[in-house]
Amino acid sequence: MNKEFTMGKPLQFDFMFTNNSEYSLDLRDVLLRKLTKTNMWPVTVYSNAFREDNFIFTTTSVRLNGHIFIFGDYFEEDWLEIFFDRLRDLRALKKWNSRTRFILFVPYFNDIKISEFAKQIFGEMWSILRSINVVLLMLDMRHSASENNMLKRTNDLRTGKRLEMYTWFPFVDGNCEEVKEIKLIGKYGLVDFIAISKIEVFPTKLTLEFGGCNVNVRPFGMEPYIIIKNYTDIYGQVFYDDIGLGTQILKLFAEKHNLTITIVNPTFALRGDSVFDIFSDVENGVIDFIVGLVPLMDFTLVYSDCSVPYMRESVRLQIPCPNPIPKVKRVISIFTVPSWFMLGFVYLIVSLTMWIISNIMKTWNFEPDCFRKVADSLYNSWAILLGVSVTELPTSPYVRFLFIIYVSYCFAMTTVFGAFFTTFLIEPGYDRGFKSYEEMNNQGIEYGSLDLVDQIIQISDNEEHLRMKSKIDCSYITGCVERAMFEKNLAVLTGSNFPYFLALKHGVTDVNRVVCFLDTVFDVYVPIAMHVGNPLLPLLDRHIRQCVEAGVGEKFWSEVKHLLQLEAKRKYSENEMYFVFGLNHLGPVFILLLCGYSLSILVFVLEIIVGKFIFCR
């Protein structure tokens, strides 16, 4: 005991007796007296004799260092099921130590096949607890079955090799998914204290070579967290492969330690029932590892053991990106409405002023006829505004002074307009975009709801997205994210890497033009989940740390991005930043020219009508 259990850490004694017989009481007294005489262990005692149907076992909040089961001299027919139920009760404890050590003390009074019995015990403890630190002590009581007193039985057992010690080693000798081979540590008499003290009861059980044992891996989530490929063999059986980051790390681990990986039943739906189904398979031993979108959170740790994280992910609200502004609209909006009104006002004021001054100067014959009529003055002022020649230059100093000021003003305005005009023809810019949930509600943007993510967010303080008025189900999130990117009428909570992956898959070169986020709801770390107590966890943790330090994650994302760029089909046509300037980009110019021609024709027709009307009078 001193060698195998750390002094000062608590031990749990389970006395699996069907009643409080004299034998069971004597055994308890002898063991506890001997244990506490020379050692200082906090001890908790549990007796199966007091078990009730509604009994729920609770223990100290300190994790146990060891667990010792003492079985009685006779059992009910279902005593093994009672023992296995006890193991399930232990596993359900929040403070359960999945690395604890077990000693099972089983006296037997009839001839039994010990090897089969030990396999059954070890097999169930592997299935329920994934425990490998188990020692089975079989005490031969067949020649003392008639004795009723514990002390007399002990005296009878002082001679002969009556104590047999058994254990087992996982991932060797065919002990892969079930226990097939056990190991006899030795046979001893109860007085062989020196021989027993030299035994290494809990040797190192794991080697670095696992003999090709199979482990089942179930991917969960969506791309790029899992990237599933499937193929069918000649017998019509479908096989899966996953090239996601989590499975790639597991494959490197399996290659290092000679394990065989089998991908089973990939799950893409982010629903609560899917999560329950996956963790039920882990608990029942159907699958060994869960990879993909496995968040390191409280509910994950309740039902599984998790490795150290190999990736950090941010859950963010993806929103529609700003739409490109139409080129014609952008050209018209070069100047604001007040600027256009001011330009027209200056044009009219200058035209009327030059007409008035020209008529005043007519008395002294200083000014030619080109500015003495209102129509001529408006025409020449318009020509100056457009940067074309006037019919005749003014001669009087007053008109010339006003003419020079107006020409300078028009030159400045047309230069600014021309510079922005050319720029906006090439890159017209984008709308303001959404800045708040209220703006999206006002524009009728729907919210893509994920039941699983919404349940996780309930434990956080960020619940603003729940105020979105219109909601749709996005359990299969791929279509919702594509709709948010390309149709721009949906907002959805998603991992930050997923939209970028889809955008590259659709051939988008400038991803930031179709992938936009409003805010980060929460950050989460992504580990690999496994059965509680899985002995491979320490080795896998060390392997993941080495992979992270070596940059396996960065290499993976770089390769995925390059592969997507090679395989992408150009399904989305975007306005790129630079392109060859052609006639199709001059569409707004021809539209303005057409408007100018139409206005000129209208003015010409009105001039003819007005001229004929005046001539007739």
* CATH number of the domain residue 562 falls in: 3.40.190.10
For residues 50 and 77, state if they share a domain. yes
Q: How far apart are CA 516 and CA 567, in angstroms?
A: 24
Q: Are residues 541 and 398 in the same domain?
A: no
Contact call for residues 440 and 415 (beta carbons, < 8 A): no
Beta strand pairing status for 101-108 and 259-263?
unpaired
Residue 455 located in a structural domain: no
pLDDT at position 205, please?
A: 83
Residue 147 domain-assigned? yes
Strands (E), 50-206: 66-71, 101-108, 134-140, 163-167, 183-188
| Mean pLDDT, rounded, for 17-29 | 66
Same domain, 129 and 160: yes
CA 176 – CA 169 distance, rounded (Å): 10
Supply the range of the domain harboring residue 184: 11-197
The answer to whether residues 32 and 121 belong to one domain is yes
Q: Say if CB 324 and CB 575 are below 8 A apart.
A: yes
Alpha carbon distance 51, 53 (integer Å): 7
**Residue 86 sits in the same domain as residue 52:** yes
Question: Which pLDDT belongs to residue 369?
Answer: 65
Same domain for 140 and 214? no
pLDDT at 327: 57
User: Residue 251: pLDDT band by 50, 70, 90 thresholds?
Assistant: very high
Give the contacts of 392 (CB within 8 A, at least 6 positions apart).
368, 370
The residue ranking higher by pLDDT, 142 or 173, is: 173
51 is a domain residue:
yes
Domain assignment present for 156: yes
pLDDT tops 90 at residue 45: no
Q: Are residues 157 and 245 in the same domain?
A: no
Q: Do 24 and 167 share a structural domain? A: yes
Domain C-terminal end among 393, 426, 459: 426
| Percentage above 90 pLDDT, the chain | 14
Tell me 484's DSSP state: I
Residue 44 domain flag = yes
Question: Strand 490-495 to strand 446-449: parallel, antiparallel, or no bridges (unpaired)?
Answer: parallel
Q: Helix crossing, 245-257 with 552-567: angle to 10°?
A: 120
Q: What does the alpha-carbon distance between residue 185 and residue 166 come to, in Å, rounded to a whole number?
A: 5
Q: Are 255 and 297 in a shared domain?
A: yes
433 located within any domain = no
What length is written for the chain?
Answer: 617
pLDDT tens, 572-602? 555 544 444 555 656 776 777 788 888 888 8
Q: What is the pTM of this model?
A: 0.70
pLDDT of residue 311: 93
Report how far residue 352's alpha carbon sits from residue 399's, in angstroms, rounded to the nearest whole number. 12
Q: Are residues 284 and 182 in the same domain?
A: no
501-524 pLDDT, tens per residue? Answer: 888 888 887 888 889 998 888 888
Number of structural domains (the chain) is: 4
Give the C-alpha separation, 472 to 449, whole Å: 6
| N-term to C-term CA, the chain | 130
Tell me what pLDDT residue 257 has. Answer: 93
Provide the pLDDT for residue 94. 66
Which candidate, 11, 37, 15, places its Cα nearest to that of 25? Answer: 15
Give the dihedral sign, CA 372/375/379/381.
Answer: positive
Task: Compute the distance between CA of residue 206 and CA of residue 40 in angstroms, rounded to an integer.
Answer: 31
- Sheet bearing 516-526, strands edge to edge: 471-473, 446-449, 490-495, 311-319, 516-526
CATH code, domain carrying 409: 1.10.287
What CATH number corresponds to the domain at position 129?
A: 3.40.50
Between CA 292 and CA 281 the distance in angstroms is: 16
Q: Which of 20, 113, 18, 114 is nearest to 75 (CA)?
A: 18
Task: Tell me how far apart the alpha carbons of residues 553 and 563 are, in angstroms, rounded to a whole number.
Answer: 15
Do residues 492 and 447 lie in contact, with contact meaning Cβ atoms separated by under 8 Å?
yes
Residues 89 and 219 in one domain: no
Write down the pLDDT at residue 50: 47
Residues 6+ apart with CB under 8 A from 473: 448, 449, 451
Q: How far, in Å, CA of 572 to CA of 605, rounded?
A: 48
Q: What is the C-alpha separation between 199 and 216, in angstroms, rounded? A: 35
Do 137 and 201 meet the contact criterion of CB atoms below 8 Å apart?
no
Contact indicator for 293, 497 with CB cutoff of 8 Å: no
Answer whether residue 463 is part of any domain. no
Distant-in-sequence contacts of 426-430, Cβ < 8 A, 24+ apart: 426/578, 426/579, 426/581, 426/585, 427/577, 428/324, 428/325, 428/326, 428/327, 428/329, 428/330, 429/324, 429/325, 429/330, 430/321, 430/322, 430/323, 430/324, 430/325
Q: How far apart are CA 225 and CA 247, in angstroms?
A: 9
Tokens representing 263 are 């991908």
pLDDT, tens digit, for every residue of 196-210?
A: 666 777 888 888 889
**What's phi and psi for 516, nearest 5 deg?**
-135, 145
State the pLDDT at residue 530.
Answer: 93
pLDDT score recorded for residue 509: 79
In a domain, 315, yes or no: no
pLDDT of residue 242: 92
Are 278 and 218 in contact by the 8 Å Cβ rule? The answer is yes
Q: At what angle do helices 397-426 and 374-386 cross, to 10 degrees?
A: 40
Same domain for 225 and 192? no
Q: Which of 197, 217, 238 is the last residue of a domain?
A: 197
pLDDT digits (tens, 9 = 90+) for 111-167: 678 888 889 999 999 988 888 889 998 887 665 544 444 445 555 544 445 788 899
Last residue of a domain, one of 146, 171, 197: 197
